Amino acid sequence: MNFYAIVTVISLAVYLIVGFYSAKNLKNVDDFYVMGRNAPSYLITGTMIATNISSVAFVGYVGSVYSRGSLPYLTMFGATLTSSIILGLYVGRYIWRMKLYTVPDFFTTRYPKNEVVKIASTAIVLFSMLIFLISVCQGVNVVLCDTFGMSKIMAQIVVLGIVTVFTMAGGMKGVVITDTIMFCIFFVAAMLVAPFLVGAMGGWPNGITEAVKKIPYTMNWDGNFGHFAGFWQYVEVNIASIVLVFASPQLLSRAFIAKSEKTFGRAMILQTLVFPIFIFSLLFFFGILPAVNPDLAPTSAFTWAAMNLAPKWIGALALAGITAAALSSASSLFQQAAAALSRDIYERYVNPQASEQKKLLVSRLAVLAIAILCYIAGTTQQITAVGMVYGFLFATAAWAAWFPSLIFGVLWKKATAKAAAWSMSLGFICAMIFVFGRTNGFTPSWLPPNAVGLLVSFIVYIIVAKTSEPTKDELEVYSAMRKPVE
Amino acid sequence: MKKDNFGIIALIAAIVMFIVAIVIFVTPLPVKTATIVTICWVFGPAIVGSVVYCIMESKGKWRQDTDLK
């Protein structure tokens, strides 16, 4: 085992220990699902960024920036942070007041007595979490196999084993605390590698000036996409970012765990302060790296820089950072998928009278069940290939379908369950048509499936809401949620 | 409710970060416009959010009770 692998193994051991320790005071399902609604701002900030940034950032985005230019990929984080501010200071306050455990809880509470909305929201969260989780786990496997020479089976066992243990033990608390530690590791890793990249170019500022002249497209707004494709690239990544923040269960659930609505607001402000430093340090200079080494495989750009440009201990921390980024996203997806199984299916349909201890046991067993499903899917060749291709597309398209129901549910008095049911169903179907169409070549590749899903679900929601009336129950929930502060 | 200075501190930090980002990332570039716009888009929410937080804090917009009533 080389030095880089040793440092990563040490970091994995730290996550396990911390995950176990966080289980010390876990007593009930409130603690397991939502950390007792006691999370301080800095932990929410840490887990939000860690969940948002997976190995995709260190491998995929860095590789894309290396080959296509920095700005088309940096832009999406403007949408992420703008959405975070709106969530933290406006929409999230009303969601926090609802005292939810899972995202389907929102739909069940806001649109009471509508089975279609209940079932559709549970199905969306379960399948989107599972499919996205499979693709994230595959990303982690690539890192562990390529960087440390592990076999695929061993990489699967390591990843799933670690995440299962600390999620089963600590629930949301275990996930949030380990996420924050992982965020610290990859934040420091990105900040430490950046100066060595700049040094390799010839130093700041003259080295950068000369390097950019060799790769003229790298600081164009559209990189080397060209204007038309560049425009649609901006549309797709910014929509994906907006949908991710407002409508993805793994991020939206962080509104449930805050100590107060002010705590959540502060956490989003902290995020807007920390995230830009991290993402510019990580991505900006990799757009100029082709001036130093034009022959890299794009997906290995970050690992090459960590292992060849930075001192050994910084490189080792950087590689541990990639694993941390991947594990943090995986654990959040795990926790949400398990919550959907236990809260939205077991508690709601199988045993509504379950005791507190029974619910806690089932929640933990649900984590194990998800791990087993992921292992089977991850080692089945066909499912692995499908998961990697469809994973992110499917998940963001699914969330785009329920996004209007969520936003209108919070903001519009005339929101109705009928509108939500039609909007989610038709938006999802249209988005899926374009997901399969794009990957199989029968719809235009430049047309983003999430944009189609979003447009259809918005239009359908507005039309149906205008032609239906909210029930007394729906109006009561809205009024209670929107009661002015006295 | 006791008012805090978190918004003011965040605003100052956001402005400082914005200026530092312009200096580090923009000044060496031969063509600067697109990068300046991107920096405004990515670093801007911190400034806007801090201002909004300060306004909300001064008007007492945060709800304290914990149940939907």
Q: Which residues on chain A are in Cβ contact (under 8 Å) with B69?
A: 480, 483
Provide the domain limits for residue B25: 6-59
Around Cβ A28, how many Cβ atoms within 10 Å?
12
Q: Which residues on chain A are in Cβ contact (under 8 Å) with B34?
A: 71, 219-221
Domain-embedded: residue B64: no
CA gyration radius, chain A: 22
Of all residues in chain A, the one with the smallest CA distance to B64 is A260
Of all residues in chain A, the one with the smallest CA distance to B15 is A273
The nearest CA of chain B is from the CA of A204 a distance in Å of 8
| Count of the separate structural domains present in chain B | 1
Find the DSSP H helices in A255-414.
261-283, 301-308, 312-339, 356-379, 381-411
Residues B45, A82: C-beta atoms closer than 8 Å? yes
Domain-embedded: residue B67: no
Helix (H, G, I), strand (E, B) or coil at A344: helix
Question: Which residue, A98, A3, A450, A40, is CA-closest to A260?
Answer: A40
Residue of A257, A277, A280, A285 to mutate, testing the B interface (most B Cβ within 10 Å of its Cβ):
A280
| CATH code of the domain made up of A3-389 | 1.20.1730.10
First to last CA, chain A: 62
Tell me the three-class secondary structure of B2-29, residue by residue: CCCCHHHHHHHHHHHHHHHHHHHHHCCC
Encoding tokens for residue A114? Answer: 């509508």
SS3 percent helix, strand, coil of chain B, rounded to 5, is 70, 0, 30
Q: How far is Cα of residue B44 from the mean position of the Cα atoms in its chain?
A: 6
DSSP bridge partners of A41: none
Domain boundaries, given as residue ranges, for chain A:
3-389
Q: What is the pLDDT confidence band of residue B68, given thresholds at 50, 70 and 90?
A: very low
Residue of B6, B23, B31, B68 to mutate, testing the A interface (most A Cβ within 10 Å of its Cβ):
B68
Residues B45, A279: C-beta atoms closer than 8 Å? no
Query: Which of A89, A213, A276 is the closest to B56 by Cβ?
Result: A89
Q: How far is Cα of residue A449 from the mean position of the Cα atoms in its chain?
A: 18
What confidence score (pLDDT) does residue A387 get?
56
**A269 vs B: CB within 8 A:** yes
Domain-embedded: residue B68: no
What one-character DSSP code corresponds to residue A291?
A: G
Name the pTM for this structure.
0.91
In the predicted model, is pLDDT for residue B69 greater than 50?
no
Question: pLDDT 10s per residue in chain A (486 long)?
Answer: 788 888 988 998 999 899 888 888 788 888 899 999 999 999 999 999 999 988 778 888 898 899 999 999 999 999 999 999 999 999 999 999 999 999 999 999 999 888 889 888 888 888 888 888 877 777 777 777 777 777 888 888 888 898 899 889 889 999 999 999 999 999 999 999 999 999 998 898 988 898 888 888 888 999 988 999 899 889 888 988 999 999 999 999 999 999 999 999 999 999 999 999 999 999 999 999 999 999 998 888 998 999 999 999 999 999 898 888 888 888 898 888 888 889 888 988 898 898 888 988 999 999 999 888 888 877 776 555 555 556 777 788 888 889 999 999 999 999 999 999 999 999 988 988 888 888 788 888 788 888 899 999 999 999 999 999 999 999 998 988 888 765
What confidence score (pLDDT) does residue A450 get?
85
Domain-embedded: residue B21: yes
Helix (H, G, I), strand (E, B) or coil at B69: coil
Around Cβ A468, how many Cβ atoms within 10 Å?
15
